[in-house]
């Protein structure tokens, strides 16, 4: 099945505040860079690693898709899994049934709280 490529996700990384890789220019030497850094400062203040304003969230709701992913992963009871962006844990719950240990990383505190409730005691 062909995959659709989102225009948002297919963009290349943009250098910070007017700096280009290998360049020694600073915001002080580039007046446009100072303006660019002011525009990005609110997003950077919210989350210094990711600018979440540019990306949406997709919640995996279809249980058949979640089970299909776990089946294709061919997890063994000795496997350790790292899941990035588990959301509400629809996939995580199925991974926990198969793998020895699962580590999840969720940056949205609301999703992390929901996930904690769902997997507590499992």
Please report, for the domain that includes residue 77, its CATH number. 3.40.50.150
Rounded to 5°, the CA angle 67-71-77 comes to 110
Q: Looking at residue 72, what is its pLDDT?
A: 97
78 lies in the same domain as 30: no
**Domain limits for position 29:** 10-54
pLDDT bucket at 5, cuts 50 / 70 / 90? low
Q: Is 75 annotated as a binding residue?
A: no
Rounded mean pLDDT of 11-22? 48
95 vs 98: CA distance, rounded Å: 5
Q: Is 106 annotated as a binding residue?
A: yes
Number of structural domains the chain divides into: 2
72 lies in the same domain as 38: no
Q: Is 85 annotated as a binding residue?
A: yes
69 lies in the same domain as 94: yes
Q: Would 79 be classed as within a structural domain?
A: yes
**Residue 42: enclosing H or E segment and its boundaries?**
helix 31-46
82 vs 104: CA distance, rounded Å: 6
29 lies in the same domain as 49: yes
Nearest partner of 79 among 49, 96, 101, judged by Cα? 101
pLDDT bucket at 44, cuts 50 / 70 / 90? very low
Q: Is 114 annotated as a binding residue?
A: no
82 lies in the same domain as 100: yes
77 lies in the same domain as 46: no
Residue 45 has pLDDT above 60, yes or no: no
8 vs 5: CA distance, rounded Å: 9
Give pLDDT tens digits for 56-104: 778 899 999 999 999 999 999 999 999 999 999 999 999 999 999 999 9
pLDDT bucket at 43, cuts 50 / 70 / 90? very low
34 vs 41: CA distance, rounded Å: 10
């Amino acid at each position: 099945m062909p995959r659709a490529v989102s225009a948002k996700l297919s963009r290349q990384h943009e250098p910070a505040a007017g700096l280009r890789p290998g360049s020694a220019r600073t915001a002080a030497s580039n007046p446009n860079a100072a303006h660019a850094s002011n525009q990005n400062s609110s997003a950077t203040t919210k989350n210094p690693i990711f600018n979440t304003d540019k990306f949406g969230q997709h919640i995996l709701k279809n249980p058949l898709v979640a089970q299909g992913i776990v089946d294709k992963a061919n997890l063994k009871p000795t496997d350790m899994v790292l899941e990035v962006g588990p959301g509400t844990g629809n996939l995580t719950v199925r991974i926990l049934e198969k793998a020895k240990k699962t580590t999840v990383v969720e940056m949205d505190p609301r999703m992390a709280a929901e996930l904690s409730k769902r997997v507590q005691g499992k």
